[in-house]
Amino acid sequence: MAIEPFLTVGKARDGELVSIDTQNSGLCDLVCPFCLRALVAVRGQVRIHHFRHDGSTCRESKRPLFLIPGWDHFNLSLPASVVDELFYQTSKSYFPSYLDRKPSLMIGRMERYGLIEHGYRGNWQLTDTAQVVTGMLSLSKFDPWLRKRLQERLCEKRGLVAAGQLHPAHYQVEASRQEQILSATLYLFELVSADGATFYKIGRTLRNVEQRLAEVSRDMKLMLHVPIQGKILKAIEGAGHIEKYTLWKYRASLLAIGRYQEYLQLMPGDLRGLKSELTRFENSRDAFNESEVVIASGKWTNEGRVPGPTRDPG
């Protein structure tokens, strides 16, 4: 999970914001949306592909406002002691019931952070937010949980920009990131090597899924030095926003293959569970509302760009 802010979009000459995913490593024809300094794309042997400044880094690009809770990280900016307590309680049972060990200390803190509530039997139980932290929330419930918060982030930043309390590029960067996330297709690939190994990949793409499968199969062939046979098990349009949480939820099955991430080693029962959960999510999710359509379609760029400062001394 990302725990520090990275600049993942750059600004083109025409004002369009461009994702790091479209760039090769090295100096590129993009500038920082905040200070307009030239950017260098950093890819390859790094955990998070990002841009760095060609020179000193400006203050605005280092602010943690970039980080989206439920996407970039799953501790949701909670105190470490609270997160530890959540994991302690949920390690004892799958069911989201909360057994209080520290009535004078922890219950009050959990309530204040919106992590516990009274269940229908009167006992404490974990809220959806708490279950996101531990990875216990179903994909079907995570979908509206994150989408609501994405819209709240946009509203908040739009208001702060209008009030002159936030650099205009913060709203533009947020909208651009959400467009990349919401408009992507979520996929689940099965990959079988010639030597009999079977593994899986969860990811998202803005391109044709068949094309993406061919790229993944090629990358694995080069990495493992054996032929790879790939198959699409699931492809869900407009579902890129659940990619990171799915990987968090199934983190016990993560498989590192060189520098490549987002691979899973699944037993047959676990695979059936993942496919079933993806199907339930696909069948139960609500269509994007009007505001989400504006973001996912890129129409937010027609709202008009408020010009920022020509230069920021950093």
- Top-confidence residue, 21 or 166: 166
Model confidence over 259-291: pLDDT tens digits? 887 899 999 999 999 999 999 999 999 999 999
pTM of the predicted structure, to 2 decimals: 0.88
The reply to whether 72 falls in a domain is: no
Total domains in the fold of the chain: 3
Q: How far is CA 174 from CA 53, 152, 295, in A?
A: 19, 11, 10
List Cβ neighbours of 54 (8 Å cut-off, separation of 6 or more).
Answer: 27, 37, 38, 39, 40
- For 2, 39, 62, 126, 243, the CA distances from 53, given in Å and listed in that order, are 19, 5, 11, 42, 28
Same domain for 124 and 151, yes or no, is no
Provide the β-strand partners of residue 39.
53
Which of 114, 134, 154 lies at the terminal end of a domain, its last residue? 134
Domain identity same for 86 and 127:
yes
Q: Residues 39, 127: one domain? A: no
The answer to whether residues 223 and 257 touch, using CB atoms and an 8 Å cutoff, is yes
Q: pLDDT (tens digit, 9 = 90+) per residue, 229-248?
A: 999 999 999 999 999 999 99
Give domain status of residue 313, yes or no. no
pLDDT at 193 over 60: yes
Asked which of 16, 32, 64 is the last residue of a domain, the reply is 64
Final residue of a structural domain among 100, 116, 134: 134
Structure tokens at 256: 């590192």
Q: What is the pLDDT of residues 113-139, one digit of tens each?
A: 999 887 777 677 889 999 999 999 999
Helices marked H in 163-242: 168-182, 209-224
Residue 6 lies in a domain: yes
* Window from 8-12, 85-89, 197-201 with minimum mean pLDDT: 85-89
- 194 and 285 inside one domain: yes
Domain containing 84 equals 80-134
